[in-house]
Amino acid sequence: MPLQLPPGKRLAFNIQPHFDAQSAWQGTFKLESPAYLARGEFDAEVGVPRVLALLEKYDIKGTFFTPTHTMATFPAQFEKVLAAGHEIGAHGCYHEHIPSMDPDTEARLMELTIAQHEKYVGKRPRGFGSPAWDFSSTTFELLLKWGFTYDSSLMGRDFQPYFPRKISLDLENGNTFGEPWGILEIPVSWYLDDFPHLEFISGVVHGPSSIDDLVKGWTTQFDYAYEHEEGGVFTLTVHPGTIGRAHHIVAFEKFLAHVREREGVWIATLGEIADTWVN
């Protein structure tokens, strides 16, 4: 049991809102029409205040993965996130799609991201959440170079943090695992994310699914982790522009109320959870 949770706690619990605003539409989806920019505006102007109010009601400090494009575009809303005491994780400069970039561009944007965290947050980020949860072959080296404590983008486990290893690829004879990179991974899951299930993107994503079905799945996964993964961590990713829609946030609140009813759940930021790791 490598996480040493506080006494009496059996499962760590984290909410990670991705405050993407307009950056994901521009950076990942290459959609920059006034219509998609308006959806990003909804994220900042309507979704974020609703999510902040709900997290305050349930006394939850989360980890807001925020592209620096959002910090610069919506400074007043980002200031409210900071003022509420949430952790800020690195989430790229403009939600750039890392696997499709050349190494020099990826390195330059990481350096810019760090500098803009120092400007808008006042310090360097300890955690990284890759935009669209994908890596290039040089991403781990950049995380080491910039001194990240943890990453939360990969899916090699579900409820147990782990150290991703180097992998030598060989299609004909099988891949070989090497030494760990040395970055603690707090895993994520597309099944524990609202966006791909609930957003409609013409020609790309055909949703939306039922929020009630989605929350039922989150609840099943949470209950399973609580019963079977003692000492682990459950982290849920939400996007304020998505979960902040009226019918979504009502269902989200029911899920948080269910979590709050369980004894022995430690609600914390990813940084706090990473700090309990004992080798």
Q: Is 69 in the site for Zn ion (CB under 5 A)?
A: no
Told to check if 86 binds Zn ion by CB under 5 A, we report no
Given the rule CB under 5 A, which of 19-27, 46-54, 142-150, 262-270 is the region that contacts Zn ion?
Answer: 19-27
Identify whether the C-beta of residue 168 lies closer than 8 Å to the C-beta of residue 176.
Answer: yes
Report the nearest approach of Zn ion to the CB of residue 180 (Å): 26
The amino acid present at 129, given as its one-letter code, is G
Residue in 14, 20, 221, 245 binding Zn ion, rule: CB under 5 A:
20
Nearest C-alpha neighbor of 63 from the set 260, 270, 277, 275:
270
Q: Which is nearer to Zn ion, 152 or 276 (CB)?
A: 152
Please tell me whether residue 151 binds Zn ion under the rule CB under 5 A: no
Please work out the total of residues on this chain that contact Zn ion, with binding judged by CB under 5 A: 2
Determine if 18 is a binding residue for Zn ion (CB under 5 A): yes
Closer CB to Zn ion, 18 or 126, in the complex: 18
Q: Please, what is the minimum distance in Å from the beta carbon of residue 110 to Zn ion?
A: 16
The C-alpha atoms of residue 21 and residue 44 are separated, in whole angstroms, by 6
Nearer to Zn ion, 226 or 252 (CB): 252
**Residue ranges that bind Zn ion, judged by CB under 5 A:** 18, 20
